[in-house]
Amino acid sequence: MRGRDLEEPGCIKSAEELGAFIQTVGFLPLFRNRIPGFSAEEHVPANWWWTEIEAKDPWCWRMQLSESKDIAYGKFFSGCAGFVSRECFPMFAAARRQGYDFDSRADEGLTRPDENRIMKLFEKTSEWDAHALRQASELNKRFDVTLTRLMMSTYMIIDGFTQKINKKGEPYGWHMSVYTTPEAKWGYEAVTSAYAIDEKECINQIVNRIQLHFGADRGDILDYLQLKQG
The pLDDT tens digits for 155-181 are 999 999 998 888 888 888 889 999 999
Beta strands at 171-180 and 27-29: parallel, antiparallel or unpaired: unpaired
Containing domain of residue 42, as a range? Answer: 15-225
In this predicted structure, what is the pLDDT of residue 63? 97
Do 2 and 32 meet the contact criterion of CB atoms below 8 Å apart? Answer: yes
**Does some domain include residue 76?**
yes
**Does some domain include residue 1?**
no
**Does some domain include residue 141?**
yes
Q: What is the pLDDT of residues 104-114, one digit of tens each?
A: 999 999 999 99
What residue type is assigned to position 189 of the chain? E
Burial string for 112-131 (b: 16+ CB within 10 Å, else e) reads eebbeebbeebeeeebbbbe
**Does some domain include residue 153?**
yes
**Does some domain include residue 158?**
yes
Q: What is the pLDDT of residues 170-224, one digit of tens each?
A: 888 889 999 999 999 999 999 999 999 999 999 999 999 999 999 999 999 999 9
**Does some domain include residue 67?**
yes
DSSP codes of every residue in 57-68 = -HHHHHHHHHT-
**Does some domain include residue 115?**
yes
Do 139 and 152 meet the contact criterion of CB atoms below 8 Å apart? Answer: no
C-alpha 159/C-alpha 108 separation (Å) is 29
pTM of the entire predicted model: 0.94
Q: What are the C-alpha distances in Å from 67 to residues 47, 61, 62, 157? A: 25, 10, 9, 11
Instruction: Specify the number of domains making up the chain.
Output: 1
Beta strands at 80-85 and 128-129: parallel, antiparallel or unpaired: unpaired
**Does some domain include residue 8?**
no
